[in-house]
Amino acid sequence: MNICDVLQFRGTWRTYQARVLERAERYLDDGCIHIVAAPGSGKTTLGIELVRKLSEPALILAPTVTIREQWKTRIEEGFLKEGIDVNAIVSQDLKSPSLITIATYQALHSAMTKYAGILEEETDEGTEDSNAVKVDVDFSEFDLVSVYKEAGIKVLCLDECHHLRSEWWKALEQFKQEMGQVTVVALTATPPYDSTPSMWNRYINMCGEIDEEITIPELVKDGSLCPHQDFVYFNYPTREEEKSVKEHMDKAKAMLEELLQDDQLLSGVRGHAFFSGLVSTDEILDDPAYLSSLLIYLQARGVDFPQQYKRMLGANRLPDINSKWMETLLQQLLFEHTEHFSVDAVFVEQLTDKLKLEGLIEKRKVILQKSGAVEKMLTTSKGKVNSILDIATHEYRNLGTDLRMLILTDYIRKEVEKALGKDEVSIDTLGVLPFFEQLRRHFAKDMKQPQPKLGVLCGSVVIIPASAKDALLQAVGGDKISFVSAGQLSQEEYVKATAVGDAHFLTGAVTDIFAAGYIHILVGTKSLLGEGWDSPCINSLILASFVGSYMLSNQMRGRAIRAMKDNPDKTSNIWHLVCLYPEKTSTTQGEEISEDFMLLKRRMKHFLGLHYEMDYIESGIERLSYIKPPFNRHHVEHINKQMLALSDQRQSLKEGWEKALEIHDQMEVVRETEVETSLLDSVVIYDAIRDVIFSTILMVLSNVGLRVSDQYEGTFLGTCCFVMIGFALVELFMRIPKLFMLRSPYKRLQYIGEGIRKALVSQGMLEDPRCRVKVESNAVNHCVYLTGGTGRDKTLFAECVMDFYSPVENQRYLLVQKKHHKCKNGYYCVPNVFAGKKELATAFLNSIRPYLGNYELVYTRNEEGRKILLTARVKALANKQKRCLSKEKVKSALE
- Describe the chain by its helix, strand, coil percentages, rounded to 5: 50, 15, 35
- Which DSSP string do the residues of 643-673 spell out, in sequence order? HHHHHT-HHHHHHHHHHHHTT-SSEEEEEEE
SS3 97: coil
Predicted pLDDT of residue 625: 94
Residue 733 has a pLDDT of: 59
CB neighbour class for 527 (10 Å; exposed up to 12, middle 13-18, buried from 19):
buried
pLDDT at residue 589, as a whole number:
46
Question: What one-character DSSP code corresponds to residue 211?
Answer: -
Q: Whole-angstrom Cα distance, residue 383 to residue 594?
A: 14
Report, as an integer, the average pLDDT of 78-82: 93
Query: Taking Cα atoms as reference points, which of 697, 686, 682 lies closest to residue 732?
Result: 697
| CA geometry: angle 323, 327, 333, nearest 5 deg | 145
Q: Listing from the earlier edge strand, what are the strands of the sheet with 228-235?
A: 228-235, 572-579, 540-544, 405-409, 521-525, 454-457, 462-465, 494-499, 481-485
Q: What is the structure's pLDDT at 90? A: 96
Which tens digits make up the pLDDT trace of 563-617? 998 899 999 999 999 998 765 544 444 445 677 888 888 778 878 899 999 888 8
Q: Lowest-confidence range among 140-154, 290-304, 577-591?
A: 577-591
Q: What pLDDT, on a 0 to 100 scale, did the predictor assign at position 677?
A: 56
Is cis: bond before 629, omega within 30 of 0?
no
Q: Looking at the chain, how many residues does it have?
A: 895
Q: Where are the alpha helices (DSSP H) in 711-837?
A: 716-741, 745-762, 791-804
Given a cut of 50, whether residue 481 has pLDDT beyond it is yes
Relative to beta strand 540-544, strand 521-525 is unpaired
pLDDT of residue 453: 97
Average pLDDT for 15-44: 89
Strand partners, 488: none
112-129 pLDDT, tens digit each: 999 999 887 765 443 333
Provide the CB-side half-sphere exposure for 643 (13 A, CA).
Answer: 23
- pLDDT at 662 > cutoff 70: yes
Q: What is the pLDDT of residue 508?
A: 83
For 818, other C-beta atoms within 10 Å of its C-beta total: 12
Instruction: Encode pLDDT of 628-651 as tens digits.
Output: 988 888 999 999 999 999 999 999
Query: 115 CB contacts (<8 Å, ≥6 apart)?
Result: 109, 137, 139, 140
Give the per-residue pLDDT at 826. Answer: 80
Question: How is residue 800 annotated by DSSP?
Answer: H
Q: If DSSP codes are grouped into helix, strand and coil, which group holds residue 861? A: coil
Q: What is the mean pLDDT of residues 665-683?
A: 61
Confidence bin at 703 (pLDDT 50/70/90): low
Q: Does the pLDDT of residue 531 top 60, yes or no?
A: no
Q: What is the pLDDT confidence band of residue 414, given thresholds at 50, 70 and 90?
A: very high
Q: Tell whether the model's pLDDT for residue 247 goes beyond 90.
A: no
Interacting residues of 840 by C-beta distance below 8 A, sequence separation 6+: 763, 833, 834
Confidence grade of residue 895 (pLDDT, cut at 50, 70, 90)? very low
pLDDT at 679 over 80: no
Question: What are the phi and psi torsion angles at 235 (to 5°)?
Answer: -145, 170
What sections of 209-280 are H helices per DSSP?
A: 216-222, 239-259, 263-270
Can you tell me the mean pLDDT for 213-222? 88
Percent of the chain with pLDDT over 70: 82
Helices then strands (H, E): number in the chain? 32, 27
> Which of 29-43, 371-385, 587-601 is predicted most confidently?
29-43
CA 707 to chain centre: 71
Q: Name 287's Cβ contacts closer than 8 Å, sequence gap at least 6.
A: 810
pLDDT over 70 (residue 690): no
pLDDT computed for residue 130 by the predictor: 41
Residue 540 has pLDDT above 70, yes or no: yes
Mean pLDDT on 803-829: 79
Distance, in Å, from the CA atom of 246 to the CA atom of 782, rounded to the nearest integer, reads 44
Cα–Cα dist 220/225, whole Å: 5
Backbone angles phi, psi at 574, to 5 degrees: -115, 120
Q: pLDDT band for position 374 (50/70/90)?
A: confident
User: 683-708 and 745-762 are packed helices; what angle lies between their axes, rounded to 10 degrees?
Assistant: 110
**Short-list 852, 815, 862, CA closest to 834:** 815
- End-to-end Cα, the chain, rounded Å: 51
Stretch among 183-187, 376-380, 771-775, 884-888 having the lowest mean pLDDT? 884-888
- pLDDT of residue 140 exceeding 90: yes
> Long-range contact list for 695-698, CB < 8 A, 24+ apart?
695/727, 695/728, 695/729, 695/731, 695/732, 695/735, 696/728, 696/732, 698/724, 698/727, 698/728, 698/731
Concatenated DSSP letters of 726-758 = HHHHHHHHHHHHHHHHTSSHHHHHHHHHHHHHH
CA pair distance 396, 390, nearest whole angstrom: 10
Backbone angles phi, psi at 149, to 5 degrees: -65, -40
* Residue 117, φ and ψ in degrees, nearest 5: 145, -155
Q: List residues bridging with 516 in a β-sheet.
A: none
Q: What is the DSSP letter of 788?
A: S
What three-state secondary structure class fits 200? helix
Question: Residue 75 contacts by C-beta under 8 Å, 6 or more apart in sequence?
Answer: 7, 48, 86, 90, 100
Give mean pLDDT, residues 438-465.
89
Confidence of residue 695 (pLDDT cuts 50, 70, 90): low
Give the mean model confidence (pLDDT) for residues 334-363: 92
Q: In angstroms, rounded to a whole number, what is the distance separating the alpha carbons of residues 167 and 279? A: 33
In the sheet with 609-610, reading across from the earlier edge strand, the strands are 609-610, 617-618, 885-892, 667-676, 781-787, 772-777
User: Whole-angstrom Cα distance, residue 186 to residue 160?
Assistant: 8
pLDDT of residue 125: 41
Is the pLDDT score of 704 beyond 90? no
Instruction: Kindly tell me the burial class for residue 885, based on how many C-beta atoms sit within 10 Å of its own C-beta (0-12, 13-18, 19 or more).
Output: middle
The C-alpha torsion from 471 through 476 and 478 to 480, rounded to 10°, is: -140
pLDDT digits (tens, 9 = 90+) for 767-797: 888 889 988 876 557 788 888 887 778 888 9
Q: Of the ranges 4-8, 221-225, 744-748, which is most confident?
A: 4-8
At residue 305 the predicted structure's pLDDT band, cuts being 50, 70 and 90, is very high
Phi and psi at 308, nearest 5°, equal: -65, -25
| 37-41, 264-268, 442-446, 827-831: the lowest-pLDDT one | 37-41
Instruction: Tell whether the model's pLDDT for residue 258 goes beyond 70.
Output: yes
**What pLDDT is stored for residue 698 in this prediction?**
52
Residues 16 and 667: their CA atoms lie apart, in Å, by 13
Q: E-assigned strands of 771-824?
A: 772-777, 781-787, 813-817
Do residues 134 and 117 lie in contact, with contact meaning Cβ atoms separated by under 8 Å?
Answer: no
Mean residue pLDDT of the chain comes to 84
DSSP 103: E
**What pTM was estimated for this model as a whole?**
0.75
